[in-house]
Homo-oligomer: A and B are copies of this chain.
Amino acid sequence: MRQSKLFTKTIKEIPSDETSFNAQILIRAGFVDKLSAGIYTFLPLGLRVHKKICDIIREEMNAIGAQEILMPALTPREIWEKTKRWNNFDALFKLVGVDNKEYALGATHEEVITPLAQKYIFSYKDLPVYIYQIQNKFRNEKRAKAGLIRGREFSMKDLYSFHTDKNDLDSYYEVVKKAYFRIFKRCGLGDITYLTYSSGGAFSKYSHEFQTLTKAGEDIIYICDNCQVAINREIIDEQKVCPECGRENLREEKSVEVGNIFKLGSRFSDSFGFKYTDENGKQKEVIMGCYGIGPSRLMATIVEIHNDEKGIIWPKEVAPFLVHLLYLKSAKEEVKNTAEDLYRKFNQANIEVLFDDREDVGAGVKFVDADLIGCPVRIVISEKTINQSKAEIKKRDSKEIILIDIEDVVEYVKELMC
């Protein structure tokens, strides 16, 4: 894409009430705009990153047999009454229609998915089933000061699984755990994300969160360095040692919850009378699990982790573009022409490139913008490099600058990054 055509620009002024680092830098670099506390617009660059995160999640969900659907955000009061959560679910936005019908804005979707699955699942032959969606959720939060980490409107991937029994749930739960770690690794959060024991429900002692270490986190976890797992502070009173090896010496860290998985058992199938017929013709409760990841929160977490004083450093799988191609203004026509030619070649090679073709912008601004936006590879064409038939290549996460023959640039980038 040509930067001269991008309607957003990097900006210096951020909203005075925006105190979170992730939102500040995403606003400055032109990825998001703040509409209201906890409510953001995804601009072209931000939407690209968000889509890449969603596509990674989709790939990993499809790979474990999950089927994608899309449920509504507007959900009628009746279904929340059935599960006794109309008055008990924290932070539900409620509203009334012209016909006096009452609705909640979907803050989670067990109340929709359970009766939906019930329409299609009757027998043990129909099980197991795994269904997910990626959709905006709404939470009536008192405070919304963590930028995109805790929004009033935010994107969520929610997966629900339906099983004949606990054993089948247990084994799929482990499958999802592995898929989640693949997602966090691909998003550049692999090494610093811990499986974290958290409070369970009536059905299982623990649930599990995936907690990523960052100072911006709102959670405190205790890590066992033997097992590379952690305990959430909320259960430390009842569980003071590592639940896997019994170690007592745990390390305290701040973290953000980037995912959670939960064995629901029959909590929701009971509310809707959702049963199936087993091999012997007997009616049994359907056993459920639920599994969440917030793509917009993930995007904010990536930014909190991958940055320096100059701007964002996107991991390559979620970068808005792999390459940021700049040319520095020169009296020599050849400089611009060479850059234009390289831009065409990258497009032909299907390598995503943001081309800073702006004519009225100086070298200094172009460099500052490239660092702020944070594409993994920066390529500069200038009079100086042209004179040697070279291009200057720099990785965003390195200080090293190398000169490569112009005709080899596309191939070099391919090998470097793909």
Q: Is A33 part of the contact surface with B, judged by Cβ < 8 Å? A: yes
A152 touches B7 (CB 8 A): no
Q: Which B residue sits closest to A135, measured CB to CB?
A: B136
In the complex, which residues of chain B have a beta carbon less than 8 angstroms from the beta carbon of A72? 35-36, 39-41, 136, 153
A35, closest chain B residue (CB): B72
> Considering the chains assembled together, what is the distance between the CA atoms of A33 and B9 in angstroms?
42
CB distance A7 to B131 under 8 Å? yes
Chain B nearest Cβ from A106, distance in angstroms = 10
Q: Which residues of B contact A152 (CB under 8 A)?
A: 74, 97
Q: Report B-chain residues with C-beta under 8 Å of the C-beta of A121.
A: 7
A163 touches B (CB below 8 Å): no
CA distance A72 to B69 in the complex (A): 21
Query: What residues of chain B lie closer than 8 Å to A136, measured between beta carbons?
Result: 72-73, 136
- Tell me the smallest distance from the CB of A122 to a CB of chain B, in Å: 9
Q: Which of A7, A67, A76 has the largest number of chain B CB atoms within 10 A?
A: A7
How far apart are the CA atoms of A253 and B105 in the complex, in Å? 38
Interface segment, A42-50, A266-274, A329-337? A42-50
Within 8 Å of chain B (Cβ to Cβ): is A11?
yes
Chain A residues at the B interface, C-beta cutoff of 8 Å: 5-9, 11, 33, 35-36, 39-44, 47, 50, 65, 67-76, 91, 93-95, 97-99, 101, 103, 105, 112, 116-117, 119-121, 125-126, 129, 131, 136, 138, 140-142, 152-153, 360
In addition to A5-B67, A35-B116, A39-B74, 7 A-B residue pairs with Cβ atoms within 8 Å of each other are: A39-B72, A39-B76, A41-B116, A73-B138, A73-B153, A74-B152, A97-B152
